[in-house]
Structure 1
Amino acid sequence: MTGSKYNSFDNDPWIIKLVEFTRKILESQSRIRVLGICFGHQIVGRALGAKVARGEQGWEVSVTPLELTSLGKEIFGVDTLSIHQMHQDMVYSYPTGILPLAHTTRCENQGMYAKNRLITVQGHPEFNREMVTHILTARHDAGVFNDEIYKDGIKRVGDTHGGAVIAKAFLKFLLQ
């Protein structure tokens, strides 16, 4: 599951069905592995009973360095990692039995892991400079992002990010 313009904590019928489906998969299908990116990360957290809500610190955008846990360093195979972000919602805790991979100053849960079951990240490994520049500009022009958020994001949009590192870790997870 990947990003969405919708809120993972809303109670729209399709979101409720997605949360229930994800919960059933994670509880009963030991052969199915789940990957979650941004909205998908939040849906997995919600399906497993974690609080998911709007972040009190507002938007987290553009290339952002992660503080990796020791497990995060092992899973991703690096000591430092940055990733494109584009969210204001977050998973506020780690469900029982789920291990943390990373955090930032704005978001305590930047990734979750359960061996042979799931791996998630709050950020967007699939985003690149052009995509994020377009999103930042469109949201600034629409009044979603104020000048401060926009300028801060544009300043960091070209920084090195670990999208390929995360993709490699996802592939390794799926092939284990």
Structure 2
Amino acid sequence: MSSVTPEPSGKLTVAFFKCDSLEKESIEKHGEYQDVLHNLFEPLLPEHLKLETLTYDVLEKREYPKDEELDRIDAIVISGSFEDEAHSDTRWILKLAGYLIKIYDEHPRIRILGICFGLQVIARAFGPSRIQQNPKGWEVGSTRVDLTDIGRKIIWHDGEGEHNMQQIHSDIVTEVPPDFELLGKSEICPVQGIVAFYPEDRDPPAFTHSHAHTLPSHPEWHEDILIPFIDNYEKDGTFDAEFAEKARKQSKAAHDGERVGRILLRVLGVA
């Protein structure tokens, strides 16, 4: 088991597990998934710390870090995905879930961060936790999230009870896996983030001691990335014109993505 923390290197190394691609309109402006995440984190880091993003295509190539790479990786980030539902038994999803269990058990120094689909596949891996299509429909654009007590302590130290996050998903996690805590919920989504703390931190554990942290939202996204998805869903009939227009408006509303970006960096003890 790799449990020894390496000496500080002046570098934060994130392994980005790419589970899909952005729309081509977004890629032309902002780069791929991993570039958008890098651009969220990098400006928030202390000056002495550099960000290294290693990208692994776990969808098409089913590629993962080699064992010798794990000693220098500080965190794994699982991206969103529209390729398959997280409850599907496709080979790439089964391999991803198994790999996350291995990292969690054998390399506890490495934090695990899940975004949107990343939340769902982590809930599946560490369940049993049912993933299903939301009977209340899609959640798109900047959405109010009502935080639990733990969520408020993590995200707002001044007692705020809600925040707003960019969303685009129709699947939901229906229950919190064992050993995880609920961070919040929205009007139509019962699980808006879960967190697992290291077992030695009990009452309450410090946030920088959390082992896995997940969100159904996209702190790294803004309207330029969301709107092409909305436009294409309207073109293919997934969204009707009325819903698509409402979603575009919601995507332009204020959100707390930068604040949550800082929180995710605090998982790694660097911000």
Q: 2:171 aligns with which of 74, 84, 89?
A: 89
The equivalent of 2:156 in structure 1 is 77
The equivalent of 1:98 in structure 2 is 180
The equivalent of 2:74 in structure 1 is none
User: How far apart are residue 55 of structure 1 and its match?
Assistant: 1.3
Higher deviation after alignment, 157-166 or 146-155: 146-155
Question: Could you tell me the percent identity over the aligned residues?
Answer: 30
Higher deviation after alignment, 149-158 or 3-12: 149-158
Mapped to 2, the partners of 1:137 and 1:21 lie a distance apart of 34
Higher deviation after alignment, 105-114 or 145-154: 145-154
User: How far apart are residue 42 of structure 1 and its match?
Assistant: 0.4
Unaligned runs of 5+ in 1: none
The answer as to 2:161 corresponding to 1:67 is no
SS in structure 2 at match of 1:95: coil
1:1-176 equivalences in 2 (<5 Å): 1-6=78-83, 7-49=85-127, 50-77=129-156, 79=160, 80-115=162-197, 116-175=210-269
How many residues align? The count is 176
Compute the TM-score of the two structures, normalised by the length of structure 1: 0.95
Partner amino acid for 2:103?
Answer: I
Higher relative contact order, chain-length normalized (CA < 8 Å, sep 6+): 1
Q: Which protein shows a greater Rg?
A: 2
Higher deviation after alignment, 18-27 or 37-46: 18-27
User: How far apart are residue 77 of structure 1 and its match?
Assistant: 2.1
C-alpha deviations, 1:95-132, integer Å up to 9, x for none? 11211111011110010011231010001111101111
Partner amino acid for 1:53?
Answer: Q
Mapped to 2, the partners of 1:106 and 1:149 lie a distance apart of 15
Q: Give 4+ residue runs of structure 1 displaced > 3 Å after superposition.
A: none
Partner amino acid for 2:117?
Answer: F
Unaligned runs of 5+ in 2: 1-77, 198-209
Mapped to 2, the partners of 1:170 and 1:52 lie a distance apart of 24
Please tell me the root mean square deviation across aligned C-alpha atoms, in Å: 1.3
User: How far apart are residue 155 of structure 1 and its match?
Assistant: 2.2
